[in-house]
Amino acid sequence: MNPKLTALALLAVLPLTSCDKIKKILHKEKAETVAQAETTAATPTPVPTATPEPTPVAPTPTPRQTANKDAQVVVFCYHRFEGKNLGYLSIPPELFDQQMQQLKDAGITVIPMADFIAWKRGEKTIPVKSAVITIDDGYESGYAVAWPILKKYGYPFTVFIYTKFVSSGGKSITWEQLEEMRDAGIDIESHTETHPDLRKKGGKSPQAYDAWLTQELKGSKDELEQRLGIKIVALAFPYGGNNQHIRDIGKQAGYQFMFTVYGQKIAWSANNDMIGRYAVEFAKPEIYQTAVDWSGIVESGTASEVAQTDAPPSDVATQPKNGETVSDPSPVISADLSSYGDVTQTTVAMRVSGLGLVPATLDPKSKVLSYKPPTPLTDKSYTVIVTGKTTTGKVDLRWTFNFNPAGASAPAAPAAH
């Protein structure tokens, strides 16, 4: 109650009384008011209890995958799917179907190029027995025939395209078909602009040759990226032909992975700018079979599709010589390995394009590794590869000779290292 109002009310209704009496009333009201205020002040205002914030639970980090370095990959190279009458690189669709089934039966997992690249970069694990399927050039049969078969098995694949062939008529794939494949998740990579043998300079000066190489490699990459809105990271050398200079220009053009046709199992540590592929031919079933059987390395080149690289060192004598043309259908093929030191029969191996691993013999005294084909040669060109290990290093020789039953010729000048 307000003490001032109480006092006024008393003055209004009461007769005049003594001042002492009024003072007592006022003093009593004041005392009651003070007591009430002290009681209110002594009682603390309750503070609302804050609801504790929930402690955030940190997400469990996903372990970063690392490459399983014991895995191996075979990379298959196909071209056309129109039957054997259209050349040795064109296989019947039914044979292609059988080969895809055989991959499944052999327990080989077909992986996309992206997984292969991630594995090679150490970012991803892949099945121990893996395969990558690639189709070169850009024939329409890759779109119309191979794709439905691969789709049936659920296999991813890559097409290596040379751009001047696209939409050129005949049996070439079109840009619209490539767009459809792109939208379906098919990987598209480069196979140069015009599919030339990049090793052939054609009388060009060093500067003109380098400009031409750059145009073939970067021009194709740029056009594919601009037309299709994709990123190109891989190159397939036409005919498998390459050398160190070509590979260096390829790196400058922006390629991170480069493929040849030297068929072999790809290990995690393999060189990324010379990845070998098995070039499948209908007339040479042993190439495909060697890959599927997981039985080592085989040279899968042919007369027109072979990975020729550097010539052997000048202190290594070979027979036939690098670039030589022979008329003998069964020549002795040999290499003098004496400059390598302690090579033995069990530490070296010879491979010949189209034949694979051959039973070459090493003479323990002269250190000459030699082989004589038991059946006549038929192809126009052969690449010989000798590999091995010594206690101080490794053996890695490659050279090419030609076969012409009509007559022999002198060896060509050695290829540059």
Using pLDDT thresholds of 50, 70 and 90, give the confidence band for residue 413. Answer: very low
pLDDT digits (tens, 9 = 90+) for 100-145: 999 999 999 999 999 999 999 999 999 999 999 999 999 999 999 9
Cα 82 to the center of its chain, rounded Å? 28
d(CA 268, CA 258) in angstroms, rounded, equals: 15
Q: Where is pLDDT greater, at 357 or 13?
A: 357
Residue spans of the domains in the chain: they are: 3-39, 72-292, 318-403
Per-residue pLDDT, 190: 98
Mean pLDDT value across residues 346-374? 89
Using pLDDT thresholds of 50, 70 and 90, give the confidence band for residue 148. Answer: very high
Cα 206 to the center of its chain, rounded Å? 31
CB 128 within 8 A of CB 73: no
Per-residue pLDDT, 15: 46
CATH topology of domain 72-292: TIM Barrel (3.20.20)
d(CA 10, CA 5) in angstroms, rounded, equals: 9
d(CA 222, CA 47) in angstroms, rounded, equals: 70
Whether 72-292 and 318-403 share one fold: the answer is no
Mean pLDDT, all residues of the chain: 81
Assigned CATH for 318-403: 2.60.40.1220
pLDDT digits (tens, 9 = 90+) for 288-337: 998 898 754 433 333 333 343 344 555 578 999 887 889 999 999 999 98
Show contacts of 212-220: CB within 8 Å, 24+ apart.
213/246, 213/249, 214/249, 214/252, 214/253, 216/192, 217/190, 217/192, 217/249, 217/250, 217/253, 217/255, 218/253, 218/254, 219/163, 219/193, 220/161, 220/162, 220/163, 220/190, 220/191, 220/192, 220/193
Contact residues for 323 (Cβ-Cβ < 8 A; gap 6+): 311, 399, 400, 401, 402, 411, 412, 413, 414, 415
